[in-house]
A and B are shown apart, each in its own frame.
Chain A
Amino acid sequence: MFEFKLPDPGEGLTEAEIVRWVVAAGDEVAVNDVLVEIETAKSLVELPSPYAGVVAELLVAEGEMVAVGSPIIRIGERGETWIPAAEPTEPTLGSAEPALAEPAIADQPAEPTAVLVGYGVRTASTTRRRRAVPPHSSNAPSSNAQSATVQAPIQPLATQSTAFDELGAVPRPITPTPLPRSTPAVRRVARDLGVDLTQLNGTGPDGLITAEDVVAAHTQPRARDERIPLRGIRRQMFNSMTASLQIPQATALIEADVTGTVDMLQTLKQRREFAELRVSPLLVFAKAACLAISRIPEINSSFDGSCDEIVLHKAVNLGIAAATPRGLLVPNIKNADRMNLTELAQALTAMVAVARDGRVQPADLARGTFTITNIGVFGVDGGTPILSPGESAIMCLGTIRRKPWVVGTGADEHLEPRSVCTVSLTFDHRLVDGAMASKFLAEVATIMSNPGLALMF
């Protein structure tokens, strides 16, 4: 029986998603027959079989993420008996006397399968220890010290494995799922009524499933909940948002009069340079953020935990959160601060096209230093975004609305309809304090209100 472990198909990749199995249990395979398609961060590749034989078992379902080095399929010779994966499969030293295993060595964890770039999957593991470590059990027979390295107690093979016929009569191993909390009487009711307890949410104390729950489920069958596997971009979003909550972060808001910007955009749209480009308030916000960062560089910083230093980035790699066909992605414009308005408009236009087509490349997603999220496109007034880990701030734009705005002073004071936008900034409070964040928002609001003042930067 051979076990094929997920290799690193690129250089230094640590995981891959099982996209599609080409073979099924019972299939006969030859060496180099394609077994499976996997997708890594870099590419979609097919994995050929290192072995000839019959597929005994697929160990990973389609759609699952697998760590490099994990077994994904077992292939046996035709007619070979096999041991389901749920059982221990390491009865290596058949002739050894396990009862005599030296405890000090038995305690040592087996070295995990190491997969190194350029080495492929290692099949041999070694357990070594320094001579300097004093023996835990000095009265153990010395002859066992070399050979007895078994980690688990060994039982006779026959008691824990089941032999199966060839030709695919191979049941998949059953992974025990924890039973939902209920009482024997309730389980009896459920069995009688044919209700699956694992599909119920209990209403009793601590989620206990009651007889009423079972009866209710039986009389008015509820639509089954939809379950969406966490994979790909969605998983990345899940992980990075979870990681973000490790960061002490706070949010500040400002309501800005952006009428000046809205008027200026009308002028820009007339110009030939911008004819083919997306000219939107986001463009001016992006420019304003870059300018404000030049005055408050901490907004564009990160923390280097390896040496406890705050890194003020000399370039603004400006991320724009984008809802794409693949999910939420934050591609960034490299060196956005060195671009004039035309170049920035070109970069934004190109980025939007790439994101919309789902062609965002890993390089576009890497090395971001500051992010803008424009939830105004969904019609909401504003929000409190969550930091992208590794960045010290994220700016959030609400929708631009016509609102009454107090202008003038003294006798001149009166209401005017103006274009108004709520801008918020969530910041890493370890790197950025409230004063810096407020100053940044004030600078952005000033430029948006009167874009001509950008000339002062």
Chain B
Amino acid sequence: MIDPVPGPDFVQLLDPTGSRAEPHRFGYSGSDAELAADLRDMLLIRRLDAEATALQRKGELGLWAPLLGQEAAQVGSARATRGADLIVPSYREHGVAWCAGIDPLDLLTTFRGTGMTDWASRPANFHPYSFVIGTQTLHAVGMAMALRLDGLVGNSDPNRNAAAIVYFGDGATSQGDVNEAFVFAASFAAPVVFFCQNNQYAISEPTSVQTKIPLYQRAAGFGFPGVRVDGNDLLAVRAVTEWAMERARRGDGPTLIEAYTYRVGAHTTSDDPTKYRSADEEQAWRAKDPITRLRNYLLGTSAIDQSWLDSVEAEAESLAERIRLGCVNLPEPKLEEFFTQAYADTPDALFSQRAEHLAYEASFEATR
């Protein structure tokens, strides 16, 4: 069951055919060159997502959470952040991670089970993935409060300001944690943007059983603004997120952004969506594809051409190959490493357990 009419406050700047739909109280003022760079990101992450999904089916990954269909929501919002902003993802934000400069192979270590989430290429402002639903919203509010205590909010020089953005899904809005985060952030005007990718399903539960009102309207009850944006429209996502981040950096408090999108793939590779939704519905959403509309728009303005697309496709293929080969060659972790990875200051008990383990390992003859 999908809300057929997203509502009068729905922010859309680029319609599914690729035509600009302005004016609007939110406008996108960036250049077409910037949009072309964003399109390239979207094409590359779609390719890497497809490759990771295939790697799971080959037994090389234990699990993968595909992002297919959510590229505009992720790239558009990620490009609205800058240097000191804090990014707090859920577990499907491979596109956000890409924009933050994380090596996709590092993501795979987690899904292959050969590493934790503290990836080597992870920048300090990108929080590790959260697999527990909604917990990260509380962490993000705390981190946002820390930004303010550090004097990074509401300065007269806007370039000295920073804010946090936290990603979660429609299902997470039913969690207590998310609602607690809303209450606290509203009460203390925390500089945080709650970025909800409403992809219509909490695994198999449609949003119709998660909420009786559009999710963005919940923000009003907590006392901060909520905006529903077309999550498949990169321009709109980028414009609204830039506005909300700037608002937070200024010290005006939190915003809830509901990026109205669709998870075209399965919840994870362990899920079979044909069991709970119709092919017609999927088809209807494929017609709103975020990449198609941006590509059509940029082809229309001649910002890109076929040779540009061909070169990005070649780039995507070599990225896929790098992931494919890199995945199977990811180093196996050593068990002794895990003893010291849970705590910042490892307790003595864990050190002695590790010593015991090492002694036990040493009791074996060398492996062949």
Q: List the interface of chain A (C-beta within 8 A of B).
A: 4-11, 31-32, 42-48, 50, 115-121, 126-132, 146-147, 149, 361
Q: Is the CB of A43 within 8 A of B57?
A: no
Q: Is the CB of B57 within 8 A of A146?
A: no
Dominant secondary structure of chain A at its interface with chain B: loop
Q: Is the CB of A120 within 8 A of B57?
A: no
Q: Across the interface, which residues of A come within 8 angstroms of B138, CB to CB?
A: none
B42 close to chain A: CB less than 8 A: no
Q: Give complex CA distance A132, B269 in Å.
A: 44
Task: Please pick, from B113, B274, B366, the residue contacting A118 in the complex, using a CB distance under 8 A.
Answer: B113
- The segment out of B58-66, B152-160, B256-264 that lies at the interface is B58-66
Q: Considering only CB atoms, which chain B residue lies closest to A11 in the complex?
A: B270
Indicate whether A118 sits within 8 Å of B62 (C-beta atoms), given known contacts A43-B271, A130-B365: yes
Q: Across the interface, which residues of B come within 8 angstroms of A121, CB to CB?
A: 59-60
Q: Across the interface, which residues of A come within 8 angstroms of B363, CB to CB?
A: 130-132
Interface contact tally, CB-CB below 8 A: 84
Q: Is the CB of A120 within 8 A of B367?
A: no
Q: Across the interface, which residues of A come within 8 angstroms of B63, CB to CB?
A: 11, 118
Q: Is the CB of B272 within 8 A of A131?
A: no
Give the residues from 338 to 368 in chain B that come closer than 8 angstroms, CB to CB, to chain A.
363-368
State how many residues of chain B have any CB contact under 8 Å with chain A: 26
Q: Across the interface, which residues of B come within 8 angstroms of A7, CB to CB?
A: 56-60
Q: Give complex CA distance A121, B368 in Å.
A: 20
Q: Give complex CA distance A129, B272 in Å.
A: 43
Q: Across the interface, which residues of B come within 8 angstroms of A120, CB to CB?
A: 58-62, 112
Give min CB distance, B111 to chain A, whole Å: 8
Extra A-B contacts (13), CB below 8 Å, given A7-B58, A47-B58, A48-B57: A42-B270, A42-B271, A43-B275, A45-B57, A50-B58, A50-B60, A115-B59, A120-B60, A120-B62, A129-B364, A129-B365, A130-B365, A146-B366
Give min CB distance, B228 to chain A, whole Å: 32
Q: Considering only CB atoms, which chain B residue lies closest to A31 in the complex?
A: B324
Q: Is the CB of A44 within 8 A of B272?
A: yes
Q: Give complex CA distance A427, B187 in Å.
A: 61
Q: Give complex CA distance A169, B175 in Å.
A: 60
Q: Considering only CB atoms, which chain B residue lies closest to A8 in the complex?
A: B59
B54 close to chain A: CB less than 8 A: yes
A-B contact pairs, 21 of them (CB 8 A): A6-B59, A7-B56, A7-B60, A8-B62, A10-B270, A11-B63, A45-B269, A46-B57, A47-B57, A50-B58, A115-B59, A116-B113, A118-B112, A119-B112, A126-B368, A128-B368, A129-B365, A130-B363, A130-B365, A131-B365, A146-B368
Give min CB distance, B348 to chain A, whole Å: 28
Q: Is the CB of A9 within 8 A of B57?
A: yes
Give the residues from 100 to 141 in chain B that come closer than 8 angstroms, CB to CB, to chain A.
111-113
Give min CB distance, B320 to chain A, whole Å: 9
Give min CB distance, B264 to chain A, whole Å: 16
Task: Please pick, from B51, B111, B269, B368, the residue contacting A9 in the complex, using a CB distance under 8 A.
Answer: B269
Give min CB distance, B50 to chain A, whole Å: 8
Q: Across the interface, which residues of B come within 8 angstroms of A131, CB to CB?
A: 363-365
Give min CB distance, B273 to chain A, whole Å: 9
Q: Give complex CA distance A7, B365 in Å.
A: 31
Q: Across the interface, which residues of A come within 8 angstroms of B59, CB to CB?
A: 5-8, 115, 120-121
Q: Give complex CA distance A265, B111 in Å.
A: 56
Give min CB distance, B247 to chain A, whole Å: 41
Q: Across the interface, which residues of B come within 8 angstroms of A119, CB to CB?
A: 62, 112-113
Give min CB distance, A49 to chain B, whole Å: 8
Q: Is the CB of B368 within 8 A of A127?
A: yes
Q: Give complex CA distance A364, B92 in Å.
A: 29
Q: Is the CB of B364 within 8 A of A130?
A: yes
Q: Across the interface, which residues of A come within 8 angstroms of B60, CB to CB?
A: 7, 50, 120-121
Q: Give complex CA distance A356, B66 in Å.
A: 33
Q: Give complex CA distance A81, B27 in Å.
A: 64
Q: Give complex CA distance A42, B324 in Å.
A: 26
Q: Give complex CA distance A412, B36 in Å.
A: 98
Give min CB distance, B289 to chain A, whole Å: 21
Most chain A beta carbons < 10 A, residue from B62, B63, B271: B62
Q: Is the CB of A48 within 8 A of B364?
A: no
Q: Across the interface, which residues of A come within 8 angstroms of B324, CB to CB?
A: 31
Q: Across the interface, which residues of B come within 8 angstroms of A46, CB to CB?
A: 57
Q: Across the interface, which residues of A come within 8 angstroms of B57, CB to CB?
A: 7, 9, 45-48
Most chain A beta carbons < 10 A, residue from B54, B59, B61, B274: B59
B238-278 vs A, CB cutoff 8 Å, 1 = contact: the mask equals 00000000000000000000000000000001111011000
Give min CB distance, A14 to chain B, whole Å: 13
Q: Across the interface, which residues of B come within 8 angstroms of A361, CB to CB?
A: 275
Q: Is the CB of A48 within 8 A of B58?
A: yes
Give the residues from 154 to 203 in chain B that come closer than 8 angstroms, CB to CB, to chain A.
none
Q: Across the interface, which residues of A come within 8 angstroms of B113, CB to CB?
A: 116-119
Q: Give complex CA distance A32, B57 in Å.
A: 10
Q: Considering only CB atoms, which chain B residue lies closest to A32 in the complex?
A: B54
Q: Across the interface, which residues of B come within 8 angstroms of A48, CB to CB?
A: 54, 57-58
Q: Is the CB of B58 within 8 A of A45?
A: no
Q: Give complex CA distance A131, B338 in Å.
A: 25
Q: Across the interface, which residues of B come within 8 angstroms of A5, CB to CB?
A: 59
Indicate whether A147 sits within 8 Å of B54 (C-beta atoms), given known contacts A11-B62, A31-B324, A130-B363: no
Give min CB distance, A100 to chain B, whole Å: 16
Q: Across the interface, which residues of A come within 8 angstroms of B365, CB to CB?
A: 128-131
Q: Give complex CA distance A147, B365 in Å.
A: 13
Q: Give complex CA distance A50, B271 in Å.
A: 21
Give min CB distance, B245 to chain A, whole Å: 35
Q: Give complex CA distance A115, B247 in Å.
A: 50
Indicate whether A45 sits within 8 Å of B272 (C-beta atoms), given known contacts A50-B58, A118-B62, A121-B59: yes
Q: Give complex CA distance A116, B59 in Å.
A: 10
Indicate whether A9 sits within 8 Å of B56 (C-beta atoms), given known contacts A43-B275, A44-B272, A120-B61: yes
Give the residues from 52 to 95 in chain B that come closer than 8 angstroms, CB to CB, to chain A.
54, 56-63
Q: Is the CB of B367 within 8 A of A126?
A: yes
Q: Across the interface, which residues of A come within 8 angstroms of B56, CB to CB?
A: 7, 9
Q: Across the interface, which residues of A come within 8 angstroms of B51, CB to CB?
A: 32
Give min CB distance, A3 to chain B, whole Å: 12
Q: Give complex CA distance A146, B368 in Å.
A: 6
In the A-B complex, the 3 residue pairs with the closest CB atoms: A7-B59, A43-B272, A118-B62
Q: Give complex CA distance A313, B194 in Å.
A: 43
Most chain B beta carbons < 10 A, residue from A7, A42, A116, A147: A7
Q: Across the interface, which residues of B come within 8 angstroms of A43, CB to CB?
A: 270-272, 275
Q: Considering only CB atoms, which chain A residue lies closest to B320 in the complex?
A: A32
